[in-house]
Structure 1
Amino acid sequence: MRPALTLFAAAAATSALIASGAAQAQSQPVIGLITKTETNPFFVKMKEGAAEAAKTAGAKLLTGAGKTDGDNAGQVTAMENMIAAGAKTILITPSDSKAIVPSIKKARDKGVLVIALDSPTDPIDGTDALFATDNYQAGVLIGQYARAALGSKPARIVTLDLFPGHPVGAQRHNGFLKGFGLNAPDAKSNELGKDPAVVCMADSYGDQAKGQTAMENCLQKVQDVNVVYTINEPAAAGAFNALKKAGKEKGVVIVSVDGGCQGIKDVGAGVIAATSQQYPLKMAALGVEAGVTYAKTGQKPSGYTDTGVTLIAANAQAGVPSQSVKTGTDLCWGKK
């Protein structure tokens, strides 16, 4: 009898462990992160930050991305797959701010919490919440710096933008114009502002190779460029390569946005004059935290949370508050 009882007790204990494991698996928050691409350093770091935050919180993280910036179909597919896999929170950096909204609505109608990181949807209330840099202010800061660095010289500006209609691209571009003291739409506009001082505008898609090509095309049209605004630091690196290839890199003020580790190195090396640093690790961590809270309590975040922006410059300009390359290096991507 005793052996039978022992076997029965062991079987019961095993069943209890399996049931406990199943219950634990069901209670584990499942959070999805969908970035614009897998290769942009900004999104690579955001993914790392989300993974670390999920591990600390005991959540399961699913990740996906579009093939390129602007790949809405890829993001839609990733979202559908994550929901099928049990994700109750989706964190997304929208590639197409308008086209993604119907898919987000379907997810929210199913009770899925959807939070935009870095980039808002159009309209902005297409998601439950937004954790992001104030991109307009990021543009204002580098615009102010470029104006001060250029001094009294007449401005001959090239803008290497993202692509038409994207809110982040418009906010950074228009903020730059505002900070430089030129005609500029307000922060709500998704249209790129224009001013006679801007002698060439081109789309870079935030890509170094495309940024270089765009700058080369602009140099074929205009020779005496002295300021280059870029949507991000890969585009800035491409612009510098094009200028150097043409023997025109000296005397050109290149400004950008991101504040990534390589970008800060480029500021220190004189490739970029100044950049507005943002913090994707913070965006990711806040998103995961909100997802875990939602899984445990049903409480949803709402509205916009500003995750901060800091101007980093190797050479400070009078009247334009900035931090050093050392500070930028210490904080790149949101490191503590």
Structure 2
Amino acid sequence: MSVLLTSVLVFALAACSGPTKSDDGKLTIGLALGTLNNPFFVSMAKGVKEAAKKYNAEVLVEGADYDLAKQTKQIEDFITKNVDLILLNAADSKGIAGAVQQAKAAGIPIVAIDVAAEGGVDATVTSDNYQCGVLAGQYIAKRLNGKGNIIVIDGPPVTSIMDRVQGFKDAIKNSNIKIVAQQNGEAVRDKAQTVAENVLQAHPKGTVNAVFGINDPTALGVATAAQQANRNDFFIVGVDGAPDAVTALKEKKLFAATVAQYPAEMVKTAVDAGIKLVKGQKVDKVIKVPVKLITQENVNQYKGW
């Protein structure tokens, strides 16, 4: 075989494999998010780029709009591009297992972030989501003196949301508080608002004392639905500590509390763990980032994202 033909074949194989690293040898990190239609994940996307600077790494960020097929394709694209590390915020904790297995088969370390993912991820970095639910439940139980009717607006089937709901239910189980409705608001503000409008119509004034939204967009959607229905007979608790939630808390209206997470800190922790994996080092299988209850009373001391 001639030298020229050999060179052509080598070039063709390299082109088919997709880019592995930039020309200057930088590592490449792929961040697959459930959605970018949420300030929480926007903060996470910014945080990963800041964290990557420490390692002189490049970052590819994708949002899946909670579409499992779309996220699977995004991970497959990361694999084709031969990224060095994948950070995964699963759109579906169970459904994404096949894509995780593909990444593992390709030899790419993969770290689940914010929610767990099946398929054999190397590590999971998350808020203490169970504690998020516990803090929200304890706040509602205390404010209602252990008695009342509440609505839960939950979301997609991912571990973070399921853990929050379980923590919430565990926190109120020994009280006389009753969940009179629980529906999926898809963790998106406008969809949660529509769900809340229907639920509130089915539960007229005086029959509901509080609403728990599994994230701040959900809780804020409920607040908008309540405002449009001229309802002020209950209070609302969310999870995230998002900028819009801070604004709502300072207004001292229906939005009473949120359990703050720290998305930028979470993703920076995930990058640190992932780089160790790339280097062949061991990391803890589960790394939890603490959370904190933020109320109308202490919101001015909260630094936010």
Which residue of structure 1 lines up, in the alignment, with residue 125 of structure 2? 131
Q: Does 1:257 align with 2:250?
A: no
Deviation at 1:310, TM superposition (A): 0.6
Structure 1 pair 269/181, CA: closer, same or farther in 2 (3 Å)? farther
Q: Are the counterparts in 1 of residues 141 and 177 from structure 2 also a CA contact under 8 Å? A: no
- Give the match's secondary structure for 2:237: strand
Q: Does 1:179 align with 2:162?
A: no
Q: TM-score when scaled to structure 2?
A: 0.87
CA offsets 1:155-186 (integer angstroms, 9 cap, x no match): 111110003x4322221112112222359xxx
Deviation at 1:57, TM superposition (A): 2.0
CA offsets 1:221-272 (integer angstroms, 9 cap, x no match): 11121110001111111111111222212x4121111111221222222342
Q: Does 1:280 align with 2:285?
A: no
Q: Are the counterparts in 2 of residues 33 and 91 from structure 1 also a CA contact under 8 Å? A: yes
Cα distance in structure 2, aligned partners of 1:102 and 1:260: 32
Q: Are the counterparts in 1 of residues 21 and 28 from structure 2 also a CA contact under 8 Å? A: no
Structure 2 unaligned regions, length at least 5: 1-19
Deviation at 1:108, TM superposition (A): 0.9
Q: Does 1:202 align with 2:183?
A: yes
Cα distance in structure 2, aligned partners of 1:114 and 1:23: 17
Q: When you count strand as a share of all residues, which structure comes out higher?
A: 2
Deviation at 1:24, TM superposition (A): 7.9
Tell me which stretches of 4 or more aligned residues in structure 1 moved more than 3 Å: 22-27
Deviation at 1:59, TM superposition (A): 0.5
Which residue of structure 2 lines up, in the alignment, with residue 186 of structure 1? none
CA offsets 1:294-317 (integer angstroms, 9 cap, x no match): 33x2224231111110111123xx
Which residue of structure 1 lines up, in the alignment, with residue 212 of structure 2? 229
- Give the match's secondary structure for 1:248: coil
Q: Are the counterparts in 2 of residues 233 and 258 from structure 1 also a CA contact under 8 Å? A: yes
Which residue of structure 2 lines up, in the alignment, with residue 57 of structure 1? 55
Q: TM-score when scaled to structure 1?
A: 0.79
Which residue of structure 2 lines up, in the alignment, with residue 244 of structure 1? 227
Letter in 1 for 2:286: Y
Q: Does 1:161 align with 2:154?
A: yes
Which residue of structure 2 lines up, in the alignment, with residue 35 of structure 1? 33
Q: Are the counterparts in 2 of residues 41 and 260 from structure 1 also a CA contact under 8 Å? A: yes
Q: Are the counterparts in 1 of residues 148 and 177 from structure 2 also a CA contact under 8 Å? A: no
Q: Are the counterparts in 2 of residues 29 and 292 from structure 1 also a CA contact under 8 Å? A: no
Identity, in percent, stands at 33
Q: Are the counterparts in 2 of residues 97 and 166 from structure 1 also a CA contact under 8 Å? A: yes
Which residue of structure 1 lines up, in the alignment, with residue 162 of structure 2? 170
Which residue of structure 2 lines up, in the alignment, with residue 140 of structure 1? 134
Paired residues in the alignment total 283
Which residue of structure 2 lines up, in the alignment, with residue 319 of structure 1? none
Structure 1 pair 107/150, CA: closer, same or farther in 2 (3 Å)? same
Which residue of structure 1 lines up, in the alignment, with residue 92 of structure 2? 96
- Give the match's secondary structure for 2:195: helix
Letter in 1 for 2:131: Q
Q: Are the counterparts in 2 of residues 158 and 229 from structure 1 also a CA contact under 8 Å? A: yes
Cα distance in structure 2, aligned partners of 1:23 and 1:247: 56
Structure 1 unaligned regions, length at least 5: 1-21, 184-194, 316-323
- Max Rg structure: 1
Cα distance in structure 2, aligned partners of 1:281 and 1:196: 35
Cα distance in structure 1, aligned partners of 2:21 and 2:166: 51
Letter in 1 for 2:54: T
Letter in 2 for 1:172: R
Cα distance in structure 2, aligned partners of 1:167 and 1:23: 33
User: Counterparts of 1:59-98 in structure 2 under 5 Å?
Assistant: 59-66=57-64, 68-69=65-66, 71-98=67-94
Q: Are the counterparts in 1 of residues 235 and 255 from structure 2 also a CA contact under 8 Å? A: yes
Deviation at 1:35, TM superposition (A): 0.5
Deviation at 1:104, TM superposition (A): 0.4
Structure 1 pair 29/174, CA: closer, same or farther in 2 (3 Å)? same
